[in-house]
Amino acid sequence: MLRKIKPAQVSLALLIASTITLAMLVLAIFLVGQTFRGMESAKVQAASVSARHLAISVDDRILAITAPPSTALAVLSHDPLASSTTLDQRLSRLPVIANILSSSDIVSAVYTGYADGDFFLLRKVRSSGVMQFPDAPDGTRFLLQAIDTEDGRQLREWRFYDEQLQLLERKTVPDYTYDPRTRPWFKAASDSPRTVLSAPYVFFTTRETGLTLSRRAARFGEQASIFGIDVTVSDLSHQLEELKQTPGTQIAIVNPENQVLASTTDNSDPGPAISGALNHRGTRVSNSSVTRYNVDGEDWYGMSEPLNALSAQQLNIAVTIPADELLAEVWETLARQTLIAGIIAIFLLIFGWFIGQRVGRPLERLTDQVSKLSRFRFDTQIKSDSYVREARKLGDAIDDMASTIRSFQSISTVLNRGQNLNELLLDILLQIAHIVGQERGAIYLFRGQQKDLSLAVNRDLDIPETIPGIAADLDDNELIRILRGHIGGHPVFAILRNREKQLVGVLIIEMEHGDHTHLSDDLIVFVDEIAGSAAVAIETRELIESQQALLEGIIRLVANAIDAKSPYTGGHCERVPKLAQMMVDEAITSTAPAFASFTMNDEQKYEFHLAAWLHDCGKITSPEFVVDKAVKLETIHNRIHDIRTRFEVLHRDAEIRYLERRLQGDDEASARTERDDLQARLQEEFAFLARANEGGEYMREEDIARIREIGQRPWQRHFSDRLGLSSDEKMALEGVPEAELPVTENLLNDRPEHQRSWGDRIPPVQRDDPANIWGFDMKLPEHAYNRGEIHNLTIAKGTLTDEERFKINEHIVQTICMLDALPLPSRLANVPRLAGTHHERMDGQGYPCRLSGDELGIPERIMAVADVFEALTAVDRPYKKGKTLTESLTIMARMVEEGHIDKDVFELFIRSGIYRTYAQQHLHPEQIDQVDESQFMNNH
C-alpha cells in the first residue's frame, strides 16, 4: 500500500519573509532589466551620435587640411615658375616653394609638371615625423627631384638642400622614370580651371598616403603647366586615435574598394571588426544604425557614416566598439543597482522575518507544546500569548485537554509502577482525590473468608477498620446501602471489581468541596471507571506478588531437593546464597578502589539472589552414586565387598590346600606354614586395598604398582557371570564371549563391560561442537563411565575417576542449560551466567567456559569465593572433614596465588569479617579458631 505523500511545510515567519522578499526581488529584477535595456539603448544611441560627430569632425579636418594648400596653389598658379623652361630658371623659384612647404606641417611636397614632360618637385626630407630618405646627407632639409629636357634628352637628378637652401649634394638618378603627364592629378587639373582634389592614394616616391591638390597655370591655356601640392593624411590617424570612445575602439576611413586610408590600427586591411561595421553585419539595435555582431567569440557594436568633405571619392568612416567596453558603465551601474536591490531585499527579508516571527512565534510555541503532547509529554503547560484571537483560544482548549490527559497519565503511572500494594492503593487514592478536587478518602479491600471489608488505606477519614457482613455476591446498590450505614458525610463510592466481576474492594472519596447535593453524573462515571482500572491493577499486583512468591518457593524447593538428594551435601544450596548475599552487601558499601563504582539496584540484587539459590540446580541430574561416592569402589554399593569375597575364596582355597596336603601325607608343619603365610598375605593385601579404597590427598606410584600386582593374583570362578543381569549389564556384555567354567580370572579386573560409552548422548561441552551454543570449553572423557576395579582403586587423589569428576563438573553445564531454557523475564536475564560461573578461575583455567578474570564481574567472583569457602568448611561431606577457619583461609590464600579466586574479593571477605559472622551461624565450635588476618592481607 502506497504511503500518502505529505505536502511540504514551511514556517509562517519564513513564508511571510520570503513572500515580501520574493516580491521585491521580482520587482527589482524587472526594474534592473528595464534599466539595463534603456541604458544599453542610450549607450548605443550615444555611440551612433558620436560616430556622426566623428564623421563631421573628420570632414572638418579634411577641409582644414585642404584649404590652406588650395589657397597657396591658387597663388602659385600665377608664379613665373609656370613659364620657366630651364632648370636654372626654375631653381630661382626655390625660396617661394620652400616657404610654402615650411608654412604647413601637412604639405609634404610642392611640384610643377610641364607639358613637355619636365618635372620640378621640392619636398621635405622628414615628413609625418619620419625620415623618408635615410641616405640623405646630414642636415638635409629639402630634396629637389628634377627632370629637365635639354637638346632632346632628359636630365634626371636629385639635389639635397639644408634649411638655408644650401646645396649639400647632387646626384643623377637615371632610373627615376616619372612622367607627370600620366598622373591622375595632372590629367584632372588639365581639364579644369579650378583646383582639383584627388582621392587619397599612395605617393609614388615616399609611399605615404595622402591627397594631391592640383591646378592649372593661369596664363597658358590647355598646354599650361600644372602645379601640385601633396598633403599627407597620417595626422588623421592620430586624430582618430584621440577620438576613440574606449581603449578597444577601432576607427577607420576607407574608400569604396575597402582600402584603409586612415585608422587607429597599423593594419592596411580593414579587419573583421571594421568589416562587420561596414557591412552592417549582425542585429540592428533599437532602431539605430548600430548593429551588434560577434567576432571570434567577442561581441561588438559597429556603425559607419559617409564623409561629405570628399563626397566625390565616396569615403566612409567606420567605428566599432567592444560590447564589454561600451557597456562597462552600464554593467557597473547594473551591479550597483543590483547591490542596492540586494541590500534592500536583505533588509526586507529581516523585516519580513521579524514581522513573521511576531505573528508566527506564538503559533510556533503552541505547535512545539502540542508536539510535546504528541510525544506523550503531557506535563507541558499549553498557553498562547498571541494577539491572534483564534490562536489564544486554541491554546486554552489544548491546555484543558492536556490537563485531563495528565490526570490519566498520573493514574496510569501509579498503576503501572507501584510495587508495594499498600503504597499503590495510597497513590491511587491520592490521585483520584486530586482529579476530582478533593483531599480525603479511603480504600477497603474485600476479604472473602472473613466476609468483610478491611480498611487498607485511609486519608483523614473517621471510619471503621472493618465493615462486617459483606457477601461476595452483593450487587453494587446493596453494598453502597450497607456502606452508607457505617460511613457518614458526603462520600462518593466506587465498587472495585476484577475482570471476573468479583468484588475486590471499595474506594471512597469524601466530597467536602463544592456542591455536595448536585454531583455531576460525568464525575461519578469518571471516578467509577478509574476505580475499575485500579481494581484490575490491584488484581495484577496481587498476581505478580503471588507468582513471585511461587517462583521463590519453587527455587527453594529445587535447592532443598538437591540438598535432600544427598545426605552429605544437605544445606549447601541454602548456605551459599546467604554467604554470597552478605558479601554482595559488603561490596556495595565498600570504599576500596576495586569496589568504588560497584552498585546493584533492587532488581539486580533479586537476580543475584535467585542465581545464588540455583547455582547448583544442575546437580539434580548428577548420578547420586557419583555425588555420594565416599570410597573408590563405590557405585550403587561399595564393591570392596565383592573383592573381600574373592579374598575369602582365596583364604578358603589356602585352607583346602592345607587339608589336601595332609591327606596326601605331606609334612604337616610345612603345609601349615604355607597356609598361614598365604592367609596372612591375603589379609595384609586386602587391608592394603581397603585402605586404598578410602581415597586421600595423594597416592604414591609404588602403591599404584602394588595394586596392579595384587590384581594379577588368580582365582577360580565356577558360576556364570551372565545370570541375573540387568538390561544395561547385558548390553555392556554384547559381543564378549562367555568363558567356559570353571574359569581362572585375575583378582582385580578392568573389563570391557566396566566401560560405558556416551552413545548418542554426548554432552555439548567441547568448543568445536556445533551444539555448544553456550561457549563451554571442557575436556570430554573417552567414556561416560569406567567402573574398572584397578582403574578406580588407582585413583591418585580423592575417590572420583576422571569420568566421575566430569559428571560432577557437568552439573554446572546442566545448570546453565536448564536455566537458559527457562522463559526468564529480561530483568532476570543474567541468572544463567551468575549461577553458572562460580567454577571459573581468574587465570582462565576453570570450567565450563574457561573465562578469565577480566571476563568475570564482581558478582560472579563473589559467587566463586562463597562456594569455595562453604565447601571447605562444610562438615557434611563424605570424603573429608570440615576445616577450621585458619585452614580454610590458608587454602583460599593459596588459591589466590594460583589464580583460582579473586584477590580483591578474598581481601574484602577477610577485612569485613564476613567469614567469622558466617562461621558463628553455620560452623561447629571446634572449627572456629583464632585467625591472624594479617598473614592473609599482607601477602596479597
Q: What is the pLDDT of residues 76-101, one digit of tens each?
A: 878 888 888 888 888 888 888 888 88
Residue for grid cell 561490596: 587
**Average pLDDT of the segment spanning 822-843:** 82
Contacts of 711 (CB under 8 A, 6+ apart): 746, 747, 748, 749, 789, 790
Q: What is the pLDDT of residues 478-495, one digit of tens each?
A: 888 888 888 888 888 888
Mean pLDDT, the chain, rounded, equals 76
pLDDT at 465 over 80: yes
pLDDT at 402 over 60: yes
**Average pLDDT of the segment spanning 10-20:** 61
Q: Count other Cβ atoms within 10 Å, centred on residue 292.
A: 18
Q: Report the alpha-carbon distance of residue 338 to residue 32 in Å, rounded.
A: 7
Q: What is the pLDDT of residues 311-339, one digit of tens each?
A: 555 677 777 777 666 656 666 666 776 77
**pLDDT band, very low/low/confident/very high, at 236 (cuts 50, 70, 90):** low
Instruction: Tell me whether strands 785-786 and 755-756 are parallel, antiparallel or unpaired.
Output: antiparallel
Domains observed in the chain = 77-232 (3.30.450.20), 418-548 (3.30.450.40), 567-628+812-937 (1.10.3210.10), 640-767+779-793 (no CATH)
Q: Which of 574, 571, 535 has the alpha carbon at shortest distance from 875? A: 571
More confident residue, 59 or 344: 344
What residues are paired with 746 via a beta bridge?
Answer: 714
Q: What is the pLDDT of residues 408-429, one digit of tens each?
A: 666 666 666 656 667 777 877 7
72 by Cβ neighbours in 10 Å (0-12 / 13-18 / 19+) ranks as: buried
**Average pLDDT of the segment spanning 540-560:** 72
Phi and psi at residue 636, to the nearest 5°: -75, -30
Q: Lowest-confidence range among 69-83, 742-756, 810-824, 855-869?
A: 810-824
CA separation, residue 587 to residues 517, 531, 608, 916, 922 (Å)? 61, 44, 13, 17, 22
Q: What is the pLDDT of residue 177?
A: 79
pLDDT at 235 over 60: no
**Average pLDDT of the segment spanning 4-14:** 55
**pLDDT band, very low/low/confident/very high, at 696 (cuts 50, 70, 90):** confident
Q: What is the pLDDT of residue 796?
A: 80
518: phi > 0 → left, psi -120 to 50 → alpha, else beta; which? Answer: beta
pLDDT at 113 over 80: yes
Q: What is the pLDDT of residue 940?
A: 43
Q: What is the pLDDT of residue 2?
A: 46
> Would you list the DSSP string of 444-488?
EEEETTTTEEEEEEEES----SEEE---TT--HHHHHHHHHHH--
More confident residue, 437 or 575: 575
Q: What is the pLDDT of residue 389?
A: 64
Q: What is the pLDDT of residue 563?
A: 64
Q: Report the alpha-carbon distance of residue 835 to residue 815 in Å, rounded.
A: 7
Buried b or exposed e, range 401-414, using 16+ CB within 10 angstroms: ebeeebbeebbeeb
The 3-state secondary structure of 517-561 reads: CCCCHHHHHHHHHHHHHHHHHHHHHHHHHHHHHHHHHHHHHHHHH
More confident residue, 34 or 467: 467
**Cα within 13 Å of Cα(516), Cβ side:** 10
Instruction: Tell me whether strands 452-459 and 743-746 are parallel, antiparallel or unpaired.
Output: unpaired
CB 115 within 8 A of CB 182: no
CB 797 within 8 A of CB 699: yes
Q: Provide the percentage of residues in the chain whose pLDDT is more than 70.
A: 69
Q: Report the alpha-carbon distance of residue 544 to residue 549 in Å, rounded.
A: 8
Sequence letter at residue 781: P
**Average pLDDT of the segment spanning 97-121:** 84
Q: What is the pLDDT of residue 1?
A: 40
Q: Report the alpha-carbon distance of residue 61 to residue 309 in Å, rounded.
A: 9
Q: Which of 248, 227, 234 has the alpha carbon at shortest distance from 183? A: 227
pLDDT at 43 over 60: no
Q: What is the pLDDT of residue 411?
A: 63
Q: What is the pLDDT of residues 678-695, one digit of tens each?
A: 888 888 888 888 888 887
